[in-house]
Amino acid sequence: MRFRHPDGSLVHLAYCTNVHPGETLQEVTAQLAAYCEPVRHRLGVEQLGIGLWLSRPAAAALDRDRRALDALRRELGRRGLEVVTLNGFPYQGFGQAEVKYRVYRPDWSEPERLEYTLALARILAALLPEDAGQGTISTLPLAWRTAHGPEAAACARTALATLAGRLDDLAGETGRQIRVALEPEPGCAVETTADAIAALRGLAPDRIGVCVDTCHLATSFEEPRPALDALTGAGIGVVKAQLSAALHAGDPADPAVREALAAFDEPRFLHQTRARTRAGLLGTDDLGPALDTPALPRSTPWRSHFHVPLHAAPAAPLTSTLPVLKEALAAMVAGPAPLTRHLEVETYTWQALPPSLRPDGRSGLADGIAAELALVRDLLTGHGLKEET
């Protein structure tokens, strides 16, 4: 979906396909018919943006076979779909029964991460619409914190510098500008926007910047406007934004609140949980430890990294951090010029929700994704952007 900002620039809205557990190129292609095109029909638009997730095997297949890449491009066009952004955070296995810490490997200290990201850049350069000025790729925030000592940090910085140079080469060869965005996430080497500024200072800002995920931002109790102002002031670009909402528990001392939270404690993904105290941010790597131990104070609200549907906050006594998303989106698009032109709805946890909240089959999932996109569409038009048809 495309929106025209009052300054004349084009803002793209997509939904991320990492919600669909396809690992092979054939499975990715099948998703276009099973989910993406039905979502487009539900929204009543001629063209739908998708933030494509390609596992390492699927990316390798496309990168080595130009005919397969051309076929994917044709299939996207035939189904009224366009790709200006890729999610390069999960490497593979994102649809496994247990993902947890595996999603952070390989990290940016390992050569496989650079190779994978460069393959994605070449693919995206070929998939971009003819009138798209640039493409973007979000990636993990260097590494999970416990695996990121000084030696690994030096390797990661060298890899990012190499990446920037190779993206320059790609632009010269294809005329396509591809930018990569580190996505701060709780528990990682780059957890906050301040961490991102420190990690990216001195690196090519025209090639590498930040992906602001509003669930992650909220989980770390960052205030959107000061965080975005800090990035802008440091010369770090908001390359991309992922629009998502976290779980919010206002009174974790209440047994009913903890019982409601326990329904979201599931085995597939990590749900880093945080509390803001006078001494600073306290947290656990997952929701279960927060509930089972006195690691977090119960006298102050908790937020958990669980991407809940934007249009359907959990029932009381829980809620979501949708207000943080709204504030961040306003800061990014309601000014004289947009801070970013690539927006992506990224609720990948539909099938990890408590059973009573999960969508009913393919049709139910398509309904839910379309409802999320419709909510964001209304927010964008409310800020003066005009949808292009």
* Low-confidence residues in the chain, pLDDT < 50: none
Query: In the structure, how many helices (H) and strands (E) does the chain have?
Result: 13, 15
Domain made up of 2-248+307-388: CATH architecture: Alpha-Beta Barrel (3.20)
Beta strand 302-308 with 245-249 is antiparallel
* Rg value, the chain, Cα: 20
| Unique residue bearing structure tokens 């974790």 | 252
pLDDT in the model for residue 375? 98
Q: pLDDT by residue (tens digit) across 48-90?
A: 999 999 999 999 999 999 999 999 999 999 999 999 999 999 9
Strands (E), the chain: 2-4, 10-16, 48-52, 81-87, 134-139, 177-182, 208-213, 238-243, 245-249, 273-277, 280-284, 302-308, 318-320, 342-345, 386-388
pLDDT in the model for residue 147? 84
Query: Identity (one letter) of the amino acid at 304?
Result: S
pLDDT in the model for residue 161? 97
User: In angstroms, rounded to a whole number, what is the distance separating the alpha carbons of residues 104 and 145?
Assistant: 10
pLDDT in the model for residue 21? 84
pLDDT in the model for residue 270? 98
pLDDT in the model for residue 367? 98
